[in-house]
Amino acid sequence: MMTPQLYLFFQGDCLEAMTHYAETLGGTIEGVFLNKDAGSPEERMPGGDDLVMNLAMRLGDTLMMASDNSEEMYERPQGFRIQIELPSATDFDRVFAALSDGARDIPMPPGETFWAERFAMFTDRFGTPWMLNFTGSKGAGAGQ
């Protein structure tokens, strides 16, 4: 069976962003290859020694990968959001506070919807688009 993986691109702050995500979401950074780790100058990407060529973070059963990208190659993420289902309202509030700190955009601040006790959409300070959801009592089978 094929399992899709997320691969995020950043503009020089990959290690900071992914470390923040790991700390906030309970993930583990499993490996980091920096530009300076390349075997030869030809294997390096454009930019400084501390740019991330590849990073792997384990989050539950998901492997999230990421790297920095050159200014010429970087494209702003669009057309998707990383969706996280939180197990409690307390977890929702904690994760929202941490990930939305310095957010670029919050088109849907935390609020109740017909499907969830709490839901929010935002783009964090690193440019990553998120959706957070706490279904709570509105989950499948609730009220039956």
Q: Are residues 18 and 56 in the same domain?
A: yes
pTM given for the model: 0.90
- pLDDT 10s digits, 15-61: 999 999 999 999 999 999 999 999 898 899 888 899 999 999 999 99
Note whether 57 and 28 are within 8 A (CB).
yes
- pLDDT 10s digits, 81-128: 999 999 999 999 999 999 999 999 999 999 999 999 999 999 999 999
Q: Are residues 107 and 130 in the same domain?
A: yes
Checking if the pLDDT of 137 tops 70, the result is yes
Largest Cα separation within the chain, whole Å, is 63
Nearest to 100 by CA among 79, 115, 118, 75: 118
Q: Angle, to 10 degrees, between the axis of helix 89-100 and the axis of helix 14-25? A: 170
Q: Are residues 61 and 93 in the same domain?
A: no
Domain count, the chain: 2
> What residues contact residue 98 under an 8 Å CB cut-off, 6+ apart?
20, 23, 24
Q: What is the CATH number of the domain that holds 132?
A: 3.30.720.110
**Enclosing domain of residue 58:** 6-68
The rounded distance, in Å, linking the Cα atoms of 26 and 9 is: 21
